[in-house]
Chain A
Amino acid sequence: MAQGEKIETRQRIVLIGGSAGSLAVLLVVLPLLPRDLAAPVILVTHRHSGSDVLLESLLSARASLPVRDIEEKEMPQPGVIYIAPADYHLLFEPDGSFALDSSEKVNYSRPSIDVTFESAARAYGARAIGILLSGANADGAQGLYDMQQHGGTTIVQDPATAEVDYMPRCALQLFSPAHIARPADMAQLISSEVSKMQAPN
């Protein structure tokens, strides 16, 4: 990998993608994340433009970590939850900072989970943890697989616990993730996977 030398010093990152039925899961997982989580948490969910504020205020009220808007070119900060804005694809620059892109929808979606996960795979490689939740769309499966192929840690919601199991099933048909997890166990799993990765120096 071209940016191989940088990866060692790169911070860790957690990405969560979901669609229909994922909000309920987020409301279980996010409040349980430890306050000193050593990685930023990036949420990519499908929703209608204009509903940003709603989701943000709902999550801020419940999450244990601060929820912040994404500023393009900003470096994601550990211990902060970021929500991908409606109507833009969220990418990562080679240095790991956020980039926004208003190009064509992918899988009928903008933001598309595939697009963000693929970009994170390139920029963060083995320093990334990707989680795919409930949803009625195939978006995210390919991207999560890319993350795995670039050495990242992958987690798929147990379809038996998903309100809409199409999205996690698509991922499981494509590859075997490192973990299949129930919502109640996810926060614990995320924090132990983050601590397994060496801290950036």
Chain B
Amino acid sequence: MQLELTEEQLDTLIGDVQSLYGYDFGDYARASLHRRIARLMTVDRFVSFAELRYKINSDKDYLARFIDMVSVNVTEMFRDPAFYRALRSQVFPVLATYPLIRIWHAGCASGEEVYSMAIMLKESKLLDRSIIYATDINPTALGVARAGIYPLSQMQKYSENYMAAGGSEEFSGYYTAQYDMAKIDGALSKRIVYSTHNLATDSSFNEFQLIICRNVLIYFNQVLQDRVFRLFDDSLEGLGFIGLGSKESLRFSTVAESYHQINAKEKIWRKGRK
């Protein structure tokens, strides 16, 4: 069993990270944040809370590790294939009417989701006039995303997801195998721009027709979720789309009134009334 971490200690740590480095975890959902920090203490073998606190306060190079361990970066290509099918059939025909398509993946983790999007855009002959902004709070994950190199052992599953998402090409054509790794085709990266962006503190930086933010909001409390929905609202064009994770909803947010869900099952909303 791991060391007990009290709510007060958690508050203390959040305060330290905020005042020293400007990262604000104060409005993250507590239960998950608690687990992450307890896990960090086990994995990095801190024998007490005081020792972790000392590390945070005295070693600024440890911050990247802290961010990497605290954020949940689990992701996959074509995660929830039905979501991608709905994008292809209901959202792409609208995107196709724009001369320049701007898409934002907020909380893109190590990039699997972004390459999935690029593949679908390419197959719909839209990639060349698209620009995809892919952002995350975690620079380590963004490094992996930029490199586009993933374990070869994952490709079987991704290939199945791809086909379930309605893909009809040979999935293995999108990467080259090198030993036990798979390198994603460089042509897919040409229209992708990676950058750090913190949804808790940073502001809007462009206007998009489609914003994808999946499995990020579950880690935020209601206050931060509302901030993010307002940020997305400010960053979305008049008839733009927002795609969320399978357990997330825009329904209870303060912007709910100005959106309608376009698919009963998949979590895709469009700006404007029905």
Query: Is the CB of B196 closer than 8 A to any CB of chain A?
Result: no
Contacts of A115 in B (CB 8 A): 35
Contact in complex: B31, A93 (CB < 8 Å): yes
Partner among B6, B30, B72, B218 whose Cβ is within 8 Å of the Cβ of A72: B218
Query: Is the CB of B222 closer than 8 A to any CB of chain A?
Result: yes
Contact in complex: B35, A103 (CB < 8 Å): yes
Partner among A2, A103, A146 whose Cβ is within 8 Å of the Cβ of B8: A2
Q: Within the complex, what minimum Cβ distance (angstroms) separates B179 from chain A?
A: 24
Contacts of A70 in B (CB 8 A): 247
A36 to B247, CA, bound (A): 29
Contact in complex: A94, B72 (CB < 8 Å): no
Query: Is the CB of A138 closer than 8 A to any CB of chain B?
Result: no
Number of residue pairs across A and B with beta carbons under 8 Å?
A: 57
A123 to B34, CA, bound (A): 12
Contacting residues of chain A (1-42) with chain B, CB-CB under 8 angstroms: 2-3
Contact in complex: B1, A146 (CB < 8 Å): yes
A146 to B245, CA, bound (A): 31
Query: Is the CB of B51 closer than 8 A to any CB of chain A?
Result: no
Contact in complex: A91, B7 (CB < 8 Å): no
Contact in complex: B249, A102 (CB < 8 Å): no
Contact in complex: A91, B74 (CB < 8 Å): no
A94 to B5, CA, bound (A): 13
Select from chain B the residue with minimum beta-carbon distance to A70.
B247
Query: Is the CB of B29 closer than 8 A to any CB of chain A?
Result: yes
Contact in complex: A101, B7 (CB < 8 Å): no
Contact in complex: A102, B35 (CB < 8 Å): no
Contact in complex: A94, B31 (CB < 8 Å): yes
Number of interface residues of B (CB under 8 A): 22
Q: Within the complex, what minimum Cβ distance (angstroms) separates A30 from chain B?
A: 23
Describe A's contact surface by its main secondary structure. loop
Select from chain A the residue with minimum beta-carbon distance to B245.
A102
Contact in complex: A94, B35 (CB < 8 Å): no
Number of interface residues of A (CB under 8 A): 24
Contact in complex: A119, B72 (CB < 8 Å): no
Partner among A3, A88, A102, A119 whose Cβ is within 8 Å of the Cβ of B7: A3
Contact in complex: B35, A101 (CB < 8 Å): yes
Contacts of A3 in B (CB 8 A): 7
Q: With contacts A72-B247, A85-B247 known, is A99 near B7, CB below 8 A?
A: no
Q: With contacts A88-B247, A94-B7 known, is A123 near B31, CB below 8 A?
A: yes
A85 to B8, CA, bound (A): 31
Q: With contacts A101-B72, A102-B218, A103-B74 known, is A71 near B249, CB below 8 A?
A: yes
Contacts of A72 in B (CB 8 A): 218, 247-248
Query: Is the CB of B195 closer than 8 A to any CB of chain A?
Result: no
Contacting residues of chain A (63-90) with chain B, CB-CB under 8 angstroms: 70-73, 85, 88
Residue ranges of B at the interface with A (Cβ–Cβ < 8 Å): 1, 6-8, 29-32, 34-36, 72, 74, 215, 218-219, 221-222, 245, 247-249
List 18 contacting pairs A-B, 8 Å CB cutoff, sorted by A. Answer: A3-B7, A70-B247, A71-B249, A72-B248, A73-B221, A88-B247, A94-B7, A99-B31, A100-B218, A101-B31, A101-B218, A102-B215, A102-B218, A102-B245, A103-B35, A104-B74, A119-B31, A122-B34
Residue ranges of A at the interface with B (Cβ–Cβ < 8 Å): 2-3, 70-73, 85, 88, 91-94, 99-104, 115, 119, 122-123, 142, 146
